[in-house]
Amino acid sequence: MKINKLLVGLLTSVTLVASVAQAAELSMVSGDTGNGLEFLRTQLDKFEADTGNTVTIVPMPSSTSDQFGQYKLWLAAGNADIDVYQTDVIWAPQLADQFLDLTDAAKDVVSQHFPSIIESQTVDGKLVALPAFTDAPALFYRKDLLEKYSKPVPTTWDEMAATAKEIQDAERAAGNAEMYGFVFQGNAYEGLTCNALEWVKSNGGGQIVEADGTISINNPQAAAAIDRAAAWIGTIAPEGNLAYQEEESRGVWQLGNSVFMRNWPYAYALSAGDDSAVKGKFEVAPLPGGDGEGSGSAATLGGWNVAVSKYSSDPEEAIKLALYLSSTEVQKERSINQSNLPTIEALYDDADVLKASPFMANWKEIFQNAVPRPSAPTKIKYNEVSSLFWSAVHSTLSGNGTAAENLEGLEADLTDLKGDAW
């Protein structure tokens, strides 16, 4: 892809003049992986060429909780070795004190991004981080199998479960003993919070903790949604799904052993790879919805951002780097090369982007139903809230108590944790 010269010009004209004189040595941490890091490097090379600064990447473990612990420790110690951090969408409220306010620096570009994403990175009026890309899961389905059994793409969870069961049983009878109906992320970790939030929200059961800080999780619709998911285990989903993270689900799916899968866009490119058993046989759709009042498809909002450490020795150049990495130019490259979803709305209609990743057109719809995890209202306590939530859900899925019982306990725990205020 050719660089969009005009955009480069717009974004870096100011920087060019200023920075040639005083080149800075910046370093940024990234939990990104393999191709992602290579891509980041190519983008940073451009930045270096344009500004004369040098940027070193410090790679981190891909486990987000490893990254988070590490960053917290470094920031607490006032580590000046790292200037720019790549942050998860849920971290902004927890690390807000340690990052610079980017409101002024980004005032000309914030309007290009989805407002909900900018909002998620704004804490008490302070723009903590700039979005680099966003993420929202979808329902992956086996086009060939749905056609074979002439089933429509399910739009409710019950429909999905019924279809999954029917095809699974028929395929097993036909000799594929390893066939399952649905795989998702059921391990006790942040991913389960994402999955369960979708079940609850799509069933009209709220968002665990509402934007105003009210604990809403203990309600019949939420309980029904989680009970419904618990019934999947051992029927349409393997027992082992209780230990699955993204990769395990993809493993089952990509061997052609599941009719449906809930996963992030990254799985799209891999499933379409040459060694994939489902190549050319699958498609994506928005996740199903529930039935009660206020139900409808919901997709948990993921995504990554760039933030500038307040201990950076060269904050000005570091802010320029953050602006650059969230710019239209880089996001466009990213969506073409990495199939990452852009946070800039206009890019979803961009011909080049759609040509390279046609499935992104589907994701615009998915993204419209995106629901944030309650990291903003619960502030620094979010990790604990999430941990309590996924534990309660995991207990229910494993058959330790009904959803109603576990959610009642969860409500009490959350109330305790909240104290007077979050």
Partner 1 sequence: MATDVMAEPVVQTGVKIKSELMQQRVRAAQLFLLPMLLALAVVAGWPLLRSIYFSFTDASLNNIDGAEWIGFGNYLRVQTLDSGAVRYRGLLVDPAWWNAVWNTLRFAVLSVSLEAVLGMLVALVLNAEFRGRGIVRAAILIPWAIPTIVSAKMWSWMLNDQFGILNDLGMRLGLLSQKVAWTATAETAMTAVLIVDIWKTTPFMALLILAGLQMVPKDIYEAAEIDGVHPVKQFFKITLPLVRPALMVAIIFRLLDALRIFDLIYVLTPNSSATKTMSVLARENLFDFDKFAYGSAMSTLLFLIIALLTILYIWLGKVRFDGGDR
Partner 2 sequence: MGATFDLWKLIKTVLFYTAVVFIVVVSVFPFYYAILTSFKQGTDIFRISYWPTSFSLENYQAVFSQGSFPRNLLNSVFVASVTVILALFLAVTAAFALSRVRFRGRGFLLMVILAVSMFPQIAVLSGLFELIRALGIYNTPWALIFSYTIFTLPFTVWVLTTFMRDLPIEIEEAAIVDGATPWVIITRVFMPLMWPALVTTGLLAFIGAWNEFLFALTFTSSNDTRTVPVAIALLSGGSQYEVPWGIIMAASVIVTVPLVILVLIFQRKIVSGLTAGGVKG
Binding to partner 2 (CB under 8 A) within 281-340 occurs at 338
The one-letter amino acid code at 242 reads L
Name which position in 3, 14, 37, 49 contacts partner 2 (CB under 8 A). Answer: 37
Q: Which does 368 bind (CB under 5 to 8 A by kind): partner 1, partner 2, none?
A: none
Contact status: 35 vs partner 2 (CB under 8 A): yes
Between CA 37 and CA 349 the distance in angstroms is 26
Contacts of 274 (CB under 8 A, 6+ apart): none
Residues 222-261 that bind partner 1 (CB under 8 A): 238-244, 248, 251-252, 255, 257
- Report d(CA 225, CA 57) in Å as an integer: 42
Stretch that binds partner 2, among 17-25, 207-215, 242-250, 282-290 (CB under 8 A): 242-250
Query: What is the DSSP-derived secondary structure letter of residue 28?
Result: E
Per CB under 8 A, 273 contacts partner 2: yes
Query: CA-CA-CA-CA torsion for 268, 274, 277, 282, nearest 10 degrees?
Result: 40
Given a contact cutoff of 8 angstroms between Cβ atoms, the answer to whether 326 and 334 are in contact is: no
Count the neighbouring beta carbons within 10 Å of the beta carbon of residue 373.
Answer: 24
**Is 265 an interacting residue with respect to partner 1 (CB under 8 A)?**
no
The 8-class DSSP code of residue 186 comes to: -
Q: Report the C-alpha gap between 327 and 337 in whole angstroms.
A: 15
> Least distance to partner 2 from the beta carbon of 227, Å?
27
Phi then psi for residue 134, to 5 deg, are -120, 175
Please select the residue that binds partner 1; options are 9, 69, 115, 273, rule is CB under 8 A.
69
Kindly indicate which of the ranges 3-11, 33-41, 96-104, 306-314 contains the residues binding partner 2, using the contact rule CB under 8 A: 33-41
- The verdict on 271 binding partner 1 (CB under 8 A) reads no
Helix (H) or strand (E) holding 306: strand 302-308
DSSP result, 118-129? HHHTEETTEE-E
Neighbouring CB atoms inside 10 A of 404's CB total: 17
350 binds partner 2 (CB under 8 A): no
Using rule CB under 8 A, residue 270 touches partner 1: no
Min dist. Cβ of residue 82 to partner 1 (A): 16
Which residues, in sequence order, are bridge partners of residue 308?
A: 84
Q: Site for partner 2 (CB under 8 A): which residue of 198, 246, 329, 333?
A: 246
Q: Which is nearer to partner 2, 70 or 362 (CB)?
A: 70
Among positions 3, 76, 173, 231, the unique one binding partner 1 when judged by CB under 8 A: 76
- The answer to whether 68 contacts partner 1 (rule: CB under 8 A) is yes
Least distance between partner 1 and beta carbon 69 (Å): 3
Tokens of 36: 């992602």
Q: Which one of partner 1, partner 2, none interacts with residue 239, CB within 5 to 8 A by kind?
A: partner 1
Distance between alpha carbon 305 and the CA centroid of its chain, in Å? 11
Give CA–CA dist 94/239, Å, rounded: 35
Name residues whose C-beta falls within 8 Å of residue 41's C-beta, 6 or more positions apart in sequence.
57
Residues 161-200 binding partner 1 (CB under 8 A) are 178, 186-189
326 vs 396, beta carbon nearer partner 2? 326
Nearest to 208 by CA among 402, 384, 398, 364: 384
Residue 266: CA count within 13 A, CB half-sphere: 15
Contact partner at residue 187 from partner 2, partner 1, none, CB < 5 to 8 Å by partner kind: partner 1
Give residues in contact with partner 1 (CB under 8 A): 65, 68-70, 72-73, 75-76, 94, 97-98, 178, 186-189, 238-244, 248, 251-252, 255, 257, 380-381, 383-384, 387, 390-391, 398, 400
Binding site for partner 2 (CB under 8 A): 27, 29, 31-37, 56, 58-62, 66, 70, 73-74, 77, 79, 81-82, 245-247, 250-251, 254-255, 263-264, 266-267, 269-270, 273, 275-277, 338
